[in-house]
Amino acid sequence: MKLIKIIIPIPSRDFDPTEVAVSWQIFRAAGYEIDFATADGKRGCADPMMISGEGLDPWGWIPGLRKIRCIGLFLRADRFGLQAYRELQQDRQFLQPRRFSDLSVSQYDAILLPGGHAKGMRPYLEDPTLQELVADFFDTVDQTHQHKPVAAICHGVLIAARSVSKKTHQSVLHGRKTTALTWKLERRAWYLSKYLVRYWDANYYRTYYESKNEPAGFWGVEQEIKRALAGAGDFLDVPKGTPDYFKKTGGIARDRIGNSRPAWVVRDGNYLSARWPGDVHTFALQFVDLLNRYYGGC
């Protein structure tokens, strides 16, 4: 059986711990070999507020009260994400990542693009070397014209949307179906921060935001990705009438192993996408299924 090798590029800081660590945990359990990479080859660090919850309450700007957490305990990573991240911090490949510039498609069987929303994500999302690698994953096809498997979740889908195919000179997502962090979910988190929990840093939940002359949401994840697609209808959100619609779209319920009801994952050939950390167990398990079917197990 083939040993499947996956590369997970991550930012130097502010990545979402759940999207990275739970995916890694599930891939490891499947028997895969997993490498990590950062722009400079130094260990990456998760968004500290998603770990501790400190700074996510209305009094979080006050040094003496910062460690008192209420809403912050709810908004941070849940116990599954935190446990997975604790385990990940002992992993040698995570502690000794490769450089983006040293990676090539020939070295790996698949790539996972995780997300995060804090400002430290920007260099990762804008890295031309990483975008070129992602484009190569889509451009390199087998005898049946299938590219190697690619998975992207949340803001990670932005990297794919910004990656330009050398063959078509368009986004690698042009002509594909995808999902990502929806404007509904992003706006809800933004308003929560802006008007309640982190009002002194109103744009904490917005990686990019609009200038005065741009409409609200123009630089939201969903809107930017739609501009890269063949048509706005190729961006797939949960259709009304779908079973568990409110559970899937409420931004509160998260999936678990054995409970995929809150999750929304979209597959288009060998490309898999999801919206936020609440989808990650289902997302990672579906990628395992895709990989095992494509490569015949590990």
In this predicted structure, what is the pLDDT of residue 64?
87
Chain segment 169-188, per-residue pLDDT in tens: 999 999 999 999 999 999 99
Pairing between β-strand 110-113 and β-strand 45-46 as defined by DSSP bridges: unpaired
In this predicted structure, what is the pLDDT of residue 168?
97
**Contacts (Cβ under 8 Å, ≥6 apart) of 29:** none
| Location of structure tokens 């930017």 | 224
In this predicted structure, what is the pLDDT of residue 27?
98
By C-alpha distance, which of 31, 86, 22, 29 is closest to 256? 22
> pTM of the predicted model, to two decimals?
0.96
Report the C-alpha gap between 56 and 76 in whole angstroms: 8
What are 68's two structure tokens? 């008192």
**Contacts (Cβ under 8 Å, ≥6 apart) of 227:** none
DSSP lists the bridge partners of residue 271 as: 150, 268
Residues of the chain predicted below pLDDT 70: 1, 297-298
In this predicted structure, what is the pLDDT of residue 145?
93
By C-alpha distance, which of 170, 183, 179, 171 is closest to 209? 183
Q: In the chain, where does DSSP find H-type helix? A: 17-29, 48-52, 71-75, 79-88, 92-95, 122-125, 128-139, 156-162, 183-192, 221-228, 245-249, 280-295
In this predicted structure, what is the pLDDT of residue 149?
98
Positive or negative CA dihedral for 217, 190, 17, 292? negative
